[in-house]
Amino acid sequence: MFGIFTERLIVFHVMIIPPSCLGGIFSPQLPDRRASATIAVTSNEIIAGLADGSQHHMPLDHTLRLEVGGASGRMVMCRHGDVMIYSEDPHFLGLLQACDEPHVRSQLTCLEANKKRHRRMMGLIWTSVLATLFVLAGLAWWSAKRALHLAITHMPYTVDVMLEKSAMGSVNAVSAEQYPKTMALLNSLLKQLKPESKDKAIQYKIALVDSAEINAFALPGGQVVVFTGLLRDMTSPEQLAATLAHEVSHVDLRHGTERLLLSMGAFTAARILLGDISAGADVVGSLVTSGAMNNYSQKQEDEADEEGFKHLIKAKIDPKGFISLFDIFDKAMKEHHLDKIPEWLGTHPEPKSRIEHVQSLIKALPKDMAYHPIDVDFAAVKLEVSRCRGDGGTACQREEKQ
Burial status of residue 169 (CB atoms within 10 A of its CB: 0-12, 13-18, 19 or more): exposed
pLDDT of residue 152: 66
Tell me which of 345 and 25 has the higher pLDDT: 25
Give me the residues paired with residue 244 across strands: none
Q: Do the Cβ atoms of 173 and 225 come closer than 8 Å?
A: yes
Helices then strands, each counted (H, E), the chain: 13, 12
- CA angle 55/58/60 to nearest 5° reads 145
* Cβ neighbours of residue 247 closer than 8 Å, sequence gap 6 or more: 216, 217, 218, 224, 304, 308
The SS3 of residue 155 is coil
CATH 2.30.29 domain extents, the chain:
20-104
Q: What does the longest C-alpha to C-alpha distance in the chain come to?
A: 135
| Chain segment 55-99, per-residue pLDDT in tens | 999 998 888 888 887 766 778 899 998 999 999 888 888 888 777
* CA 135 – CA 156 distance, rounded (Å): 33
Q: Helix, strand, or coil here: 34? A: strand
3-state secondary structure (DSSP) of residue 35: strand
DSSP 8-class letter at 338: G
- Residue-level pLDDT at 137: 65
Residue 241: its pLDDT value, please? 96
**Other residues' Cβ atoms within 10 Å of the Cβ of residue 398:** 13
Write down the pLDDT at residue 402: 39
Confidence of residue 246 (pLDDT cuts 50, 70, 90): very high
Residues 6+ apart with CB under 8 A from 329: 214, 351
Is pLDDT above 80 for 245?
A: yes
pLDDT band (50, 70, 90) for residue 239: very high
Share of the chain above pLDDT 90, in %: 34
List pLDDT tens digits, range 6-27.
455 555 444 445 678 999 999 9
Gyration radius (Cα) of the chain, Å: 38
319-335 confidence digits (pLDDT tens): 999 999 998 888 877 77
Tell me the backbone φ, ψ of residue 139, rounded to 5 degrees. Answer: -65, -40
pLDDT bracket for residue 140 (50, 70, 90): low
- Angle 291-210-396 (CA atoms, 0-180°, nearest 5)? 100
**Nearest C-alpha neighbor of 255 from the set 145, 172, 165, 349:** 145
> Which of 12-16, 114-118, 256-260 comes out lowest in average pLDDT?
12-16
Beta bridge mates, 57 = 47
Q: Can you tell me the mean pLDDT for 382-402?
A: 56
E strand spans, 31-96: 34-41, 45-49, 55-59, 65-69, 75-80, 83-87
At 23 the pLDDT is: 93
Burial (CB count <10 Å: 0-12, 13-18, 19+), residue 318: buried
3-state secondary structure string across 260-308: HHHHHCHHHHHHHHCCCHHHHHHHHHHHHHCCHHHCCCHHHHHHHHHHH
Q: Which residues of 27-38 are buried (b: 16+ CB within 10 A; e: fewer)?
A: beeeeeeebebb
Instruction: State the pTM of this model.
Output: 0.59
Amino acid at 23: G
Q: Tens of pLDDT along 281-332?
A: 556 666 666 565 667 888 889 999 999 999 999 999 999 999 999 988 888 7
Question: Which residue, among 312, 276, 332, has the nearest Cα to 189 in the 3D structure?
Answer: 312
Instruction: Write down the pLDDT at residue 377.
Output: 93
378 has a pLDDT exceeding 90: yes
Mean pLDDT of 152-180: 82
Q: Is residue 343 classed as helix, strand or coil in its secondary structure?
A: helix
Local confidence band at 166 (pLDDT 50, 70, 90 cut-offs): confident
Does 153 score more than 80 pLDDT?
no
* Helix (H/G/I), strand (E/B), else coil: 194: coil
Q: Which residues lie below 8 Å from residue 81, measured CB to CB, with a gap of 6+?
A: 63
DSSP strand E in 70-113: where? Answer: 75-80, 83-87
204, 224 contact by CB (below 8 A)? yes
The mean pLDDT value of the chain amounts to 79
259 — pLDDT class (breaks 50, 70, 90): confident
Convert the pLDDT of each residue in 355-375 to its tens digit.
Answer: 999 999 999 999 889 999 999
Four-way CATH pick for 20-104: 1.10.3470, 2.30.29, 2.130.10, 1.10.8: 2.30.29
Average pLDDT over residues 380-389: 82
C-alpha span between 151 and 257 (Å, rounded): 11
Residue 237 has a pLDDT of: 95
pLDDT at 400: 40
Statement: residue 340 has pLDDT above 60: no
